[in-house]
Amino acid sequence: MTAPRPNGSAPIHWLLIVVTLGAGLALRLVPLGLPFAVTKWGGSVLWAVMVYLLLAVLLSRSSTARVAVTAAVIAAVVELSRLYHTPEFDAFRLSTAGALLLGRVFSVWHIAVYWAAIGFAALADEKFLRRGVLSRSPARY
Percent of the chain predicted with pLDDT > 90: 50
How many H-runs (helices) and E-runs (strands) does the chain carry? Answer: 6, 0
Structural domain containing residue 87 = 7-134
Tell me the C-alpha distance between 22 and 24, whole Å.
5
Q: Return the closest-CA partner of residue 52 out of 28, 16, 88, 26.
A: 16
Does residue 140 fall inside a structural domain?
no
Please give the tally of structural domains in the chain: 1
Q: Is the pLDDT of residue 22 over 60?
A: yes
- Residues 81 and 111 sit within 8 Å (Cβ to Cβ): no
Say yes or no to pLDDT of 50 above 60.
Answer: yes
Q: What is the per-residue pLDDT for 97?
A: 84
Q: Using a cut of 0.85, tell me whether the model's pTM lies above it.
A: no
> What Cα–Cα distance (Å) separates residue 45 from each residue in 19, 35, 73, 98, 138?
13, 15, 15, 17, 33
Task: Tell me what percent of the chain is helix, strand and coil, each rounded to the nearest 5.
Answer: 75, 0, 25
How far, in Å, CA of 22 to CA of 37, rounded? Answer: 19
Task: Pick the range with the lowest mean pLDDT from 19-23, 25-29, 123-127, 135-139.
Answer: 135-139
- Report the distance separating Cα 55 and Cα 49, nearest Å: 10
Residue 14 in any domain: the answer is yes
For residue 7, is pLDDT > 60?
A: no
In a domain, residue 2? The reply is no
Q: What per-residue confidence (pLDDT) applies to 20?
A: 94
139 belongs to a structural domain = no
pLDDT tens-digit readout, 71-129: 999 999 999 998 988 999 889 888 988 887 788 888 999 999 999 999 999 999 998 88
